[in-house]
C-alpha cells in the first residue's frame, strides 16, 4: 500500500455528469495504484445552497450552514463512485466523517486536527478507489464542519500526508500555477515547478489556483503537490515542492492581483489616546482584515499629533464606506482620508536578496507607465504595491513584462547572481 | 419534559421556502411544548437525486444511493431550523445519525433498531425545537441508511415512542385518512378516528396517506398518530389509535385501490415437479411480490395435471411481460394465461364478523354495475377483489356508495349487530 495516489477534483471538474465521466477516466488511468480521490461539490452547488440559506435567514447560523453545505460534496462523491463502478473499478464513497477527518469546532473555517488513516486504508484493501468528500470533517462530538472555501485542496493534501503518499495531484481547470492570471495576461505561462513558500505567497496575494493552507500542509508533511488540468490531463502541470527540490529556481516566479484593498488615513486629534484601537475595532467589525498600520507622531505642543495610516482588505465595500462615514463624523475635527478602490499587485520571488533593487525596478516600470503607486511594501518573498483598481491589470502586465516572467530562465539575472547578491 | 410533541412534515409541506415558512408557523403554535420535528426532503428532491444516480448507473449500489438520498433531508432540516431561528425560536437540526437513530444495514429499506433518546433530550434542554432528518439512520459501523419511501413517517412515530410522547402529528396535504382517495371519489370523507389495524390494512391496500410501518410502530408503542393537513392546520385530522379507544367504530371504514396487479395461470405439464418453484423464482426475479397462490391437482393418468394460479403485484409491467413470454416459450405444451392490467379494490372493515355477508353484497354491487370480479379474497379486516384496471375506480365508487362510507354512522347495520353477528 505504499504508492497510494491522492487526487483532488474541484467543482468545475465535476460540474455535470459528463464531466464526472471524464474525471472517472482520469482516475482509471492511475491503475494499478490504489487511489484516494477528493471531490468538491458540483459546479455552483455551494453558492446555490448558500443562496437557499440566505432566503431563510440573513444571518444564518454557521453550524447549520456547515450541515447544509456538506451535502454538496456528499452528492458528488456518490455520483463519482457510481460512475467508477459502472466503468468496472471497485469504488466506495466516504463522507469526511466516514473518512475519519476530525476538525476543530470553528464552523465555517474549521481546521483538520487529525485523520484516522486506518479507515481509508481498510477500504483500500477491497476497493481500487476511495472517494472522499472534500471541504468537510466532524468534531469530537459529531458536529459536521466545513474548512472554508478551497477546503477541498486542504482535505486532499492532509489525506496525502496521513496516508504517506509522496504526491498529491490537484486537478483544476488550468494547466498549473501560472506566472499571472492567464485570463487577463495572455503572456502568462504555467510554471513547471515552484517552491512551497513562493506558491503560498502567490496564493495569499490573490492567485486563485490553490488554497494556501493546502500548500502549507504540503510543506509541513513533505508532500509534493501537483496542480494539473482536468481538461488537459496529459500535461504534467506544476509541481509545488521544497525550495531545494526546485531544479531551476527563478528569481521571480509570478505576479498576482488582489482586489478590495483600501487605505484610511486620519490625523491624530489631540486627546485620542485610544485612536488606534478604536480604528482597528471599527474596521474589523465590518469584515476588514488589516494588512499594515503606520503611525507617525509629532508630539510637540500646539502641533497636530501625527497621523495613523491603515492598509486593509475588505469584503463588502458598502460596509467599509459606512464605517468610514462614521469615523468622519466622530473625528470631525481631524482629517480623515480614505481610498477604497485599490488593488494590491504583488511580485513574488524566490528570495529576499535583491529585493530593494527589484523594488526600484518595479516602481520605475509603473511610473514610466503613469501608474501611481500609493504604497509599496517589500517582504521576504514579495514586493507589493497598492494602485488604483482601474490600473491594476495594466500594472500586473507591465511587471510581468519587465521581469520577463514568461521566459523559462531568468534572462536578466542568472540564478548564481541572485544567490550571491 | 413530559409533554414533548413530535410532528412530521412531508415533502409537499416543505416544497419551497414559502411553505417552510408556513410550517415554521405551525411549529411555533405548539409553544410552550418542547417540539421534535421530523421533515422529509423538499418536494421532488428525492426523485431528482434518484434521476441523477440513474444517469450515472443503471444499477446504482444501494449503499451509495442511501448516502446520496440522505442529503435531501439534510438540506430541509437546516432550512427549517434557520427559519425557526429567524422567527425567534431556538432550534437545532440533527441528521438521523446525530439524533441517535440506529438501523439495520439493509440499505434502502433499513429498519430502526434503536434510538438513543438522550441525544435529543439533551438538545431540548437548550432548544425549543429539535429538527430531525426523517427517512435516515446509521448502522453500527457508521454507514448511512434510508428506511425506504415513506420512511419519515416511521422516523416520527419511532421518535415519539422513544421520547414517550403520547401523540405524533403527521402533517400531510390532506385533511386526514379518507374513506377513499378524495382525488378520485368526491364523496370520500376524512375519518375522525380509525384503529391501527384498519389503518395499516388501508395503507397496505394502496391508500397513500401514511406509511403502514409507522402505524404499526404506533400500535406497538401506544402512540396516537394524528394525520393532519399542513394547509388546514385548524382541522383536527384523523386520530389513529387502539381499537378500544376508537369511540365510534364503524364496521367499514374505507376503500382503497392498488394498481399493478397481475394474475398468471398455467396448466401443469406432466413432468413439472418444480413448476411452482420455477414460477415464483421467475416472477420474483422481475420485481413481483406474490400475493396469493392457488394450485389445483387432477392426478389421473392421461389427464392434465391441474393448474397453478398466482396473483401478484408488480413494479414494472415490461419486466413481467417479458417473464410471461419466457414462460410461454418454456411451457409451450401447456396453456399459460396472464392478465396484467388489473387493480385490487379493497374494502377495509373493523372485524371479520359478517365478512361473508359483506362479500356477497360487494360482489352483488359489482355485478349490478357490470364489473367483472376476477378473484375475491376475504381476510380478517378486508375484502379484496381483482378487477380490470379500467373499472377499478368505478368499482371503488360503487363500493363506497353501497357501504355508505361517507356517513358518520353505519346506517345499514348497527355496531351491536356487527359485534354479535
Q: What top-level class would CATH report for the domain A5-247?
A: alpha beta
Substitution target in A71, A92, A97, A118 with the highest count of B β-carbons within 10 Å is: A71
Q: Which CATH number fits domain A343-420: 3.40.50.800, 2.60.40.10, 3.30.70.260, 3.40.50.2000?
A: 3.30.70.260
B 139-178 residues with CB < 8 A to A:
142-144
Which pLDDT score is estimated for A336?
84
Does the beta carbon of A60 lie under 8 angstroms from any beta carbon of chain B? yes
A18 vs B: CB within 8 A:
no
Nearest to B68 among A20, A78, A144 (CB): A78
Of A401, A348, A341, nearest to A372 by C-alpha is A341
Could you say which DSSP state residue B14 is in? G
Residue of B nearest to A85 (CA): B57
- Pairwise CA distance, residues B290 & A161, whole Å: 54
For residue B81, the chain A residue with the least C-alpha distance is A64
Q: How far is A7 from chain B (nearest CA, A)?
A: 20
- HSE on the CB side for A117, CA within 13 Å? 15
For chain B, give the number of residues.
421
Chain B environment of A71 (Cβ under 8 Å) = 71, 74-75
Give the per-residue pLDDT at B349. Answer: 87
**Of the candidates B63, B77, B82, which has its C-beta nearest A61's C-beta?**
B82
* Alpha carbon of B108: minimum distance to chain A alpha carbons (Å): 15
Q: Given this model, what pLDDT does residue A419 score?
A: 35
Q: In chain A, what percentage of residues exceed pLDDT 70?
A: 91
- The residue written with cell numbers 469504488 in the block is A91
pLDDT at site B419: 35
Task: Using an 8 Å CB-CB cutoff, list chain B residues near A127.
Answer: none
A148 or B26, greater pLDDT: B26
**Better-predicted residue by pLDDT, A264 or B135:** B135
In whole angstroms, what is the distance from residue B116 CA to residue B166 CA?
Answer: 18
Q: What is the pLDDT of residues A205-234, one digit of tens each?
A: 988 889 999 999 999 999 999 999 999 999
Of A68, A71, A142, the CB nearest to B98: A142
Q: Does B17 touch chain A (CB under 8 A)?
A: yes
Question: Is the model's pLDDT at A416 over the cut of 80?
Answer: no
Q: Which residue has the higher pLDDT, A150 or B99?
A: B99
Any long-range contacts for A299-307 (C-beta under 8 Å, 24+ apart)?
A304/A267, A304/A268, A304/A270, A305/A267, A305/A268, A305/A269, A305/A270, A305/A272, A306/A267, A306/A268, A307/A265, A307/A266, A307/A267, A307/A268
> Quick one: pLDDT at residue A74?
97
In this complex, the residue of B55, B64, B97 whose CB is nearest that of residue A81 is: B64
Across A320-347, average pLDDT: 85
Residues written for chain A: 421
Architecture of domain B261-340: 2-Layer Sandwich (3.30)
Which chain A residues have a beta carbon less than 8 Å from that of B63?
92
Give CATH superfamily name and number for B342-420: ACT domain (3.30.70.260)
Minimal C-alpha gap between B214 and chain A (Å): 27
DSSP string, B385-407: EEEEGGGHHHHHHHHHHHTTTTS
Same fold, B5-246 and B261-340: no
Q: Which grid coordinates belong to B419?
A: 359485534
Answer with the residue of higher pLDDT: B73 or A316.
Answer: B73
- CATH number for B5-246 (one of 2.60.260.20, 3.40.50.720, 3.40.1160.10, 1.20.1560.10): it is 3.40.1160.10
Q: Report pLDDT for B411.
A: 41
In the prediction, which pLDDT does A379 show?
Answer: 80
Give the pLDDT of residue A121.
96
* Alpha-carbon dihedral angle through residues B36, B38, B39, B40, given to the nearest 10 degrees: 170
Facing residue for A79 by CB, picked from B52, B92, B98: B52
CA of A78 vs chain B CAs: smallest distance (Å): 6
- Looking at the complex, does the CB of residue B373 fall below 8 Å from at least one CB of chain A? no
Task: Please tell me which residue, A149 or A377, carries the higher pLDDT value.
Answer: A377
| Fold entry, domain A260-341 | Alpha-Beta Plaits (3.30.70)
Give residue limits of the domains in chain A: 5-247, 260-341, 343-420
The 3-state DSSP class for residue A113 equals: strand
pLDDT band at A69 (very low <50, low <70, confident <90, very high): very high
Query: Which of A337-341, A343-347, B283-287, B328-332 is predicted most confidently?
Result: A343-347
The per-residue pLDDT for A413 is: 41
**DSSP-assigned beta bridge partners for residue B136:** B146
Per the model's pLDDT, the better-predicted residue between A46 and B374 turns out to be A46
Helices (H) and strands (E) in chain A, counts: 12, 18
- C-alpha cell recorded at residue A300: 510637540
What's the pLDDT at B272?
65
Vertex B88: Cα angle to B86 and B89 (nearest 5): 105
Contact B64 A93 (CB under 8 A): yes
- What would the mean pLDDT of A69-75 be, rounded to a whole number? 97
- What is the residue-level pLDDT of chain B in tens, covering all 421 positions? 559 999 999 999 999 999 999 999 999 999 999 999 999 999 999 999 999 999 999 999 999 999 999 999 999 999 999 999 999 999 999 999 999 999 999 999 999 999 999 999 999 999 999 999 999 999 999 999 999 877 999 999 999 999 999 899 999 999 999 999 998 899 999 999 999 999 999 998 988 889 999 999 999 999 999 999 999 999 999 999 998 777 767 788 899 999 988 888 888 776 666 777 778 888 777 777 777 777 776 655 555 567 888 888 888 888 888 888 888 888 877 788 888 899 999 999 876 556 778 888 888 999 999 998 888 888 878 898 899 999 999 999 999 999 999 886 544 443 333 333 3
Q: Is B389 on the interface with A (CB under 8 A)?
A: no
In this complex, the residue of B53, B64, B86 whose CB is nearest that of residue A56 is B86
Amino acid at each position: 500500500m505504499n504508492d497510494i495516489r491522492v487526487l483532488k477534483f474541484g467543482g468545475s471538474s465535476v460540474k455535470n455528469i459528463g464531466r464526472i465521466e471524464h474525471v472517472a477516466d482520469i482516475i482509471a488511468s492511475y491503475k494499478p495504484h490504489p487511489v484516494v480521490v477528493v471531490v468538491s461539490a458540483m459546479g455552483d452547488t455551494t453558492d446555490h445552497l448558500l443562496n437557499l440559506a440566505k432566503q431563510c435567514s440573513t444571518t444564518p447560523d454557521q453550524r447549520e450552514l456547515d450541515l447544509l453545505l456538506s451535502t454538496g460534496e456528499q452528492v458528488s462523491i456518490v455520483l463519482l463512485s457510481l460512475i467508477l463502478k459502472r466503468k468496472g473499478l471497485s469504488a466506495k464513497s466516504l463522507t469526511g466523517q466516514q473518512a475519519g477527518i476530525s476538525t476543530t469546532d470553528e464552523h465555517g473555517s474549521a481546521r483538520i486536527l487529525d485523520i484516522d488513516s486506518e479507515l481509508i486504508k481498510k477500504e483500500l484493501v477491497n476497493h481500487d478507489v476511495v472517494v472522499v468528500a472534500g471541504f468537510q470533517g466532524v468534531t469530537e462530538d459529531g458536529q459536521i464542519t466545513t474548512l472554508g472555501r478551497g477546503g477541498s485542496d486542504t482535505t486532499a493534501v492532509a489525506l496525502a500526508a496521513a496516508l504517506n503518499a509522496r504526491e498529491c495531484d490537484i486537478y483544476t481547470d488550468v494547466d498549473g500555477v501560472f506566472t499571472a492570471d492567464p485570463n487577463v495576461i495572455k503572456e502568462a505561462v504555467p510554471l513547471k515547478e515552484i517552491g512551497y513558500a513562493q506558491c503560498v505567497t502567490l496564493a495569499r496575494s490573490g492567485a486563485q489556483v490553490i488554497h494556501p493552507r493546502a500548500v502549507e500542509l504540503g510543506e509541513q508533511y513533505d508532500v509534493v503537490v501537483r496542480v494539473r488540468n482536468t481538461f488537459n490531463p496529459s500535461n504534467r502541470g506544476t509541481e509545488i515542492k521544497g525550495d531545494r527540490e526546485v531544479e531551476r529556481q527563478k528569481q521571480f516566479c509570478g505576479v498576482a492581483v488582489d482586489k478590495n484593498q483600501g487605505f484610511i488615513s486620519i490625523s491624530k486629534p489631540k486627546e485620542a489616546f485610544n485612536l488606534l484601537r478604536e480604528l482597528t475595532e471599527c474596521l474589523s467589525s465590518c469584515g476588514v482584515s488589516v494588512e499594515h498600520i503606520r503611525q507617525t507622531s509629532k508630539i510637540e505642543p500646539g502641533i497636530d499629533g501625527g497621523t495613523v495610516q491603515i492598509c486593509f482588505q475588505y469584503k463588502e465595500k458598502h460596509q467599509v464606506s459606512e464605517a468610514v462615514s462614521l469615523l468622519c463624523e466622530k473625528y470631525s475635527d481631524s482629517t480623515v482620508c480614505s481610498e477604497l478602490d485599490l488593488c494590491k499587485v504583488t511580485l513574488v520571488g524566490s528570495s529576499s536578496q535583491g529585493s530593494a533593487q527589484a523594488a526600484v525596478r518595479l516602481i520605475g516600470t509603473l511610473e514610466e507607465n503613469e501608474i501611481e503607486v500609493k504604497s509599496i511594501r517589500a517582504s521576504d518573498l514579495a514586493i507589493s504595491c497598492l494602485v488604483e483598481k482601474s490600473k491594476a491589470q495594466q500594472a500586473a502586465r507591465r511587471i510581468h513584462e519587465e521581469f520577463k516572467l514568461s521566459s523559462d530562465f531568468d534572462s536578466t539575472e542568472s540564478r548564481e547572481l541572485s544567490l550571491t547578491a
